[in-house]
Amino acid sequence: MTTTPAPADIPATPPPSVAPIPHFWAVIPAGGAGTRLWPLSRQSAPKFLRDLRGSGRTLLQETYDRLAPLAQERFLVVTGRAHEAAVLGQLAELPGEAVLAEPSARDSMAAIGLAAAVLERTDPDAVMGSFAADHVISPASVFAETVARAVEVAREGWLVTLGIEPTHPSSAFGYIRAGEPLAGHDAQVVASFVEKPSVETAAGYLAEGGYRWNAGMFVVRPGVLLDLLAQWHPEFAAALRDLAADLGRLEEVWPTLPKIALDHAVAEPAAAAGRVATVAAAFGWDDVGDFDSLATLLLAAGTPEQRLAVLGDADLVHAVDASGVVVTGGRAVAVVGLEDVVVVDTEDALLVTTRSRAQEVKAVVGALKDAGRADLV
């Protein structure tokens, strides 16, 4: 789940050569509790609110830090009502109206579509870029340069998706198949989106070339996005536009909106219609999907001989012949004679597993819910 990870010494803000992009609006969907980083990530404290790199900044804050030089004060964060206060607390720079609080989770099309509808009314020249709040990206300068390129393409009416250059044949991501080059731009038309493949199929993609990871990052003019949505879901698009005209009706309208991912609602049919472009993204990217991914990320930021990564206070960890990752939670942690172990210590719950079994943590979360321990998940 990892590309070249972020070295620890990459500065939070890009170099001065990164210029603000006029009318560029950063949209940050901050949702999706997930369960594969339990007990570090909880429904009450999802991973975007966490510092997963030991950088002193949470993933949400790092996302903001990357985008602020480009968007300046033009931000919209879309998050669950339960996290509105935490988001505003972590991003004290933002005014209250920069956070759109969803009454309930209704998947990405509703969340990002609402942001688009709001921006369409706010700034007729707006180009929005949507970037999840819980990804790790570096270096920020390459990210900024890539976004700037995507904005240029988007201004011409394309739905532009950032395609991550694959570093290995991952089966964890969907792929973007790039088609014809776009005249006048360092970009290509998207031939198609491809569902998560097997590792073997993915290896074939890499050998063939022209395939990129779909990280769900895209840049588009709000009106273009809504017009595309209107082609396949006209009532949905109309409802979002009506809602943006009167946000007081959010509580009433929100539960009636379809639960559908933006990829399915717009990106895939639009690609089939030849309306989607892609720019190649050469930055390191990681969605920190599980503790195996976290271990890779942290170890890559360490010294070459480091075998055991620590997130938290490394002085608390006493290891003898051990490798893997330890997330500390305030207590001393001793690990003896275990390879590729995952130990996550929190105040009320402890996880012990291995990097290769890290995905199965979601089964524990399910079992905890069944056991009536919703307080822990």
Contacts (CB under 8 A) with its own copies, residues 26-85: 38-39
| Per CB under 8 A, 168 contacts its own copies | no
Shortest spacing between CB 315 and its own copies, in angstroms: 8
Q: Which stretch binds its own copies (CB under 8 A): 45-53, 71-79, 273-281, 346-354?
A: 346-354
262-301 residues in contact with its own copies (CB under 8 A) are: none
Least spacing, CB of residue 204 vs its own copies, in Å: 30
Number of residues that bind its own copies (CB under 8 A): 37
| Residue from 9, 200, 305, 347 binding its own copies (CB under 8 A) | 347
The order of strands in the sheet holding 324-327 is 308-311, 324-327, 341-345
Contact between 356 and its own copies by CB under 8 A: the answer reads yes
User: Which region among 68-76, 133-141, 202-210, 317-325 touches its own copies (by CB under 8 A)?
Assistant: 317-325
Rounded distance, CA 258 to CA 265, Å?
A: 10
Q: Tell how far CA 246 is from the center of its chain.
A: 29
Determine, following the binding rule CB under 8 A, whether residue 310 of this chain makes contact with its own copies: no
Nearer to its own copies, 8 or 332 (CB): 332
Considering only 49-57, 148-156, 255-263, 366-374, which stretch makes contact with its own copies by CB under 8 A? 366-374
Segment interacting with its own copies, rule: CB under 8 A, options 79-87, 179-187, 298-306, 358-366:
358-366
- Comparing CB distances to its own copies, the nearer of 59 and 343 is 343
Where b means 16+ CB within 10 Å and e means fewer, 316-333 reads bbebeebbbbbbbbeeeb
Q: Is 92 left (phi over 0), alpha (psi -120 to 50) or beta?
A: alpha
Kindly state whether residue 333 participates in binding its own copies, applying the rule CB under 8 A: yes
Residue 369 in contact with its own copies, rule: CB under 8 A? no
Maximal C-alpha separation, the chain: 62
**Residue 307 makes contact with its own copies by CB under 8 A:** no
**CB closer to its own copies out of 137 and 335:** 335
Nearer of residues 93 and 339 to its own copies, judged by Cβ: 339
The DSSP secondary structure of 57-125, one letter per residue, reads S-HHHHHHHHHHHHHTT-EEEEEEGGGHHHHHHH-TTS-GGGEEEESS--HHHHHHHHHHHHHHHH-TT
In degrees rounded to 5, what are phi and psi of residue 285? Answer: -140, 140
Name beta bridge partners: 101.
79
In contact, 181 and 187? CB cutoff 8 Å: yes
Task: Identify which of residues 242 and 321 has a Cβ nearer to its own copies in the complex.
Answer: 321
Q: Is 350 in the site for its own copies (CB under 8 A)?
A: yes
Closest contact distance (angstroms) between CB of 342 and its own copies is: 9
Q: Are 335 and 354 in contact (CB under 8 A)?
A: no
Q: What one-letter code names the amino acid at 289? A: G
Rounded distance between C-alpha atoms, residue 56 and residue 9, angstroms: 12
Among positions 120-139, residues that touch its own copies (CB under 8 A) are: none
**Which of the stretches 98-106, 135-143, 268-276, 315-323 binds its own copies when contact is defined by CB under 8 A?**
315-323
Span interacting with its own copies, options 90-98, 179-187, 188-196, 355-363, rule CB under 8 A? 355-363
Report DSSP state, residue 328. Answer: -
How many angstroms separate the CA atoms of 59 and 48, rounded? 5
Alpha-carbon separation of residue 17 from 14, 142, 176 (angstroms)? 8, 11, 30
- The contact set with its own copies (CB under 8 A) reads 38-39, 315, 318, 320-321, 331-338, 341, 343, 345, 347-354, 356-358, 360-361, 363-364, 367-368, 371, 373, 376
